[in-house]
Homo-oligomer: A and B are copies of this chain.
Amino acid sequence: MKMFGAIEAGGTKFVCAVGDENFNIIDRISFPTTYPGETMERIFDFFDRYKDLKAIGIGSFGPIDINIHSEKYGYITSTPKTNWRNFNFLGEMKKHYNLPIGWTTDVNAACLGEYEIGSAVDNHSCLYLTVGTGIGGGAILDGKIIEGFGHTEMGHIIIRNHPHDDFEGVCPYHKNCLEGLAAGPSIEKRYGIKAENLDEDHRIWRIVAYYLAQALVNYTLILRPEKIILGGGVMNQAGMIDFVREAFASLLAGYVETPDLDSYIVTPSLGDNAGIIGGLILARRAL
């Protein structure tokens, strides 16, 4: 039985795991994201105990450099987390482990997990979007992660304000892009309390659903994925996925065919494990 390592490197916490070739998780650890030196020590402490790992897969918060021809391939680049800016994450891992190491974004890794053994297991293409303190997405087509000059940044697309929401947005780059209007911090900024403390029937949830639906319409028209998987804290809100489906149908106006919306716009079937399982898959692919 081959053993693989996986790292889900998030902006607030890291998860490291070891799993077998069927992606059963055998051991895992989780710790807060502090600064690179300390974090790398914890990673090494964990994986050093497994001498028979065949490969490791990393899904990292970003932006990261994924261009193998770039001098900064494997770096975390222009993140607002200044400790981590220009940190050669993959390089540090390779110095310590003489193993094949897969490298992509956290959302691409989660997308890969859902694609291979999750909600999109029967599909040839899918898109994964997480909606929480930020919004990020990844897409896979015929097994291949969609990326070109760099990785995708689907959370920052331009959308239009809801007719009853003139909020200016919180994105430091774009103000009222998708993330600036629909991620958790935008909700908190509007009302001065955390999103999860707002009533279930608060008007904001329909507004957020309208923003997400706009994004999904654009993803649909630009990529035509067979499935869209919505994760993250905001999607835990009661009824949210139905609100998104309703707004999506209204906005797309039947222009292109999609699968039935109940099977097209879905939640992750791997739950919080999508990213770490995606890391194991990435490891196997690296091998």
Contacts A148-B141, A159-B160, A160-B159 hold; do A153 and B226 have CB atoms under 8 A apart? no
Known: A141-B141, A157-B221, A255-B156. A148 touches B125 (CB 8 A): yes
A150 / chain B contacts, CB cutoff of 8 Å? 224, 256-257
> Is A147's beta carbon under 8 Å from chain B?
yes
Question: Does A148 lie within 8 Å of B256, measured CB to CB?
Answer: no
Residues from chain B with a CB closer than 8 A to the CB of A33 are none
Which residues from chain B contact A223 at a C-beta distance below 8 Å?
146, 148, 152, 222-223
Query: Does any Cβ of B come within 8 Å of A251's Cβ?
Result: yes
A240-276: CB near B (< 8 Å → 1, else 0) gives 0000000000010111111100000000000000000
- Decide if A154 is an interface residue (CB 8 Å cutoff): yes
Judging by beta carbons under 8 Å apart, are B158 and A226 in contact? Answer: no
8 A Cβ contacts from A192-240 to B: 214, 217-219, 221-226
Q: State which of B160, B224, B255 has its C-beta within 8 Å of the C-beta of A149.
A: B224
A118 to chain B, nearest CB (A): 17
Residues of chain B within 8 A of A96, CB atoms compared: none
B149 and A259 within 8 A (CB): yes
**Does the CB pair B153–A255 fall under 8 Å?**
yes
CB <8 Å contact, A149 and B218 = no
For residue A124, CB closer than 8 A to chain B, the reply is: yes
A151 within 8 Å of B (CB atoms): yes
CB of A49 within 8 A of chain B? no
A161: CB under 8 A from chain B?
yes
Checking B151, B214, B217, B226 against A148 with a beta-carbon cut-off of 8 angstroms, the contacting residue is B226
A146 to B257, CA, bound (A): 16
Is A144 an interface position by the 8 A CB rule? yes
Of all chain B residues, the one with the shortest Cβ separation from A70 is B257
A166 CB contacts on chain B under 8 angstroms: none
Contact call B218/A157, Cβ cutoff below 8 A: yes
Q: Knowing A125-B148, A148-B124, A150-B257 touch, does A218 contact B222 (C-beta < 8 A)?
A: yes
Q: For the A-B complex with A158-B214, A219-B222, A223-B223 known, give 18 more contacts whose Cβ atoms are closer than 8 Å.
A: A125-B148, A141-B141, A144-B144, A146-B146, A148-B225, A148-B226, A149-B258, A152-B221, A153-B221, A153-B255, A154-B222, A156-B255, A157-B218, A158-B159, A158-B217, A159-B160, A174-B251, A174-B255
Task: Give the B-binding residues of A (Cβ under 8 A).
Answer: 63, 124-125, 137, 139, 141-142, 144, 146-154, 156-161, 173-174, 214, 217-219, 221-226, 251, 253-259
